[in-house]
Each structure stands twice: as C-alpha cells, then as structure tokens.
Amino acid sequence: MPMTIRMRDARPDEAPILTQLALRSKRAWGYDDAFMAAIMPDMIVEPEYVREERAIVAIEGDVILGYVIVRSDGESAFLRDLFVEPARFRQGIGKALFGRALEYARERGARSLQLCGDPNARGFYERVGMTKVGEEPSIAGGGRMLPIMELRL
Ligand SMILES: CC(C)(COP(=O)(O)OP(=O)(O)OC[C@H]1O[C@@H](n2cnc3c(N)ncnc32)[C@H](O)[C@@H]1OP(=O)(O)O)[C@@H](O)C(=O)NCCC(=O)NCCS
C-alpha cells in the first residue's frame, strides 16, 4: 500500500460518501443499471452502521479511497462492507482494510470472521485467508448466489 495512505475511523456524517464509493466500486465488476437498482437497498451505508459498528476508512490527504465496516456478534464477527475506489484496486488497500477488520474481530474475542461476498471478490478473500463455507441468494434474484466466506480466528 502506498505510504501516503492512512487509516482512521469513519464518521457517521461520511455515510453518503461511503455509499457513493461503494456504488462506484461495485460497478467496476461491470454490472448494469437494472442490477445496480436491484441491489441498491444493500448498498446504502446508514450513519447507524458507522456509529454502532466498526467503520474504518483508508485516506490519502482528505480523499477516502476505501472503507470497511465490521460488526462483532459475540462468537463471530461479520464483515458488512469492504469497498475500494476502482482506480486504486490492486494496490494493497483492500488487504490493509481487511487486516483492520480482522484485528477488530480478534480484539472483540470473535472466533470467526464471516461475510457474504460478491462472486468477483472471492479470489481476493481467498488470498487473504478465507474459505467458502456456503452460499446465500442475492437480493438481485435470478438465481444469483453469493459465496459465504469465513476465516477461523
Ligand atoms: C475486492 C477488493 C476489496 C480488493 O481490494 P484491492 O485493494 O484491489 O485488493 P489488494 O490490492 O489489497 O489485494 C490483495 C491480494 O488479493 C489479490 N486480489 C485482489 N483482487 C482480487 C480479485 N478480484 N481476484 C483475485 N485476487 C485478487 C491481489 O492480487 C493481492 O494479492 P497479493 O497479496 O498476492 O499481492 C476490491 O476489488 C473491491 O473493492 N471490489 C469491488 C467491490 C467488492 O466487490 N467488494 C467486496 C464486496 S463483498
């Protein structure tokens, strides 16, 4: 990851900026307007997520290049979102944010970190040590299934 990038906690008022970043990031896989409209309810970052869960941004200057939101549910931790600015893919930002989520899950005493991911991101999640443990139907419908990924801590 470039040395000029720092991490800090997100602020609840940044939720709309995070939503826009998530939409740009998701689009990078080539999804069309109909698909993006179908998944919109899942893409909105509510200020409550930032306030009540752990939300961390990667910033360069004052520009947000990526973020992660993770919550701890006792025995397990759940990674709600991990999105990087498409122009900055493959520079280590995703891995660094994932590392922070992992650190938080461990601090909270979770035994595993889980997520329901985009199929295109599966290679990334495997690269950072996760394994596919199941599948879940996407809200986009049409029989699309999302991999459930897990890392035992
Ligand atoms: C998935 C995502 C977070 C990865 O972030 P990134 O900053 O590009 O990833 P990094 O540069 O930190 O990559 C870490 C490692 O994973 C690999 N990797 C990254 N993206 C990958 C992919 N799509 N498939 C396979 N491997 C991938 C990298 O080559 C790197 O390997 P290395 O450790 O051998 O160098 C980013 O592509 C993204 O935001 N995608 C769109 C949104 C999305 O689908 N997010 C996940 C929602 S569940």
41-63 pLDDT, tens digit per residue, is: 999 999 999 999 999 999 999 99
Q: Is 28 in the pocket of ligand 1 (CB under 6 A)?
A: yes
Domains of the chain: 5-152 (3.40.630.30)
Q: Is 68 in the pocket of ligand 1 (CB under 6 A)?
A: no
Q: Is 123 in the pocket of ligand 1 (CB under 6 A)?
A: yes
87-144 pLDDT, tens digit per residue, is: 999 999 999 999 999 999 999 999 999 999 999 999 999 999 999 999 999 998 888 9
Half-sphere exposure of 115 (CA within 13 A, CB side): 25
CA–centroid distance, residue 120 to ligand 1 (Å): 9
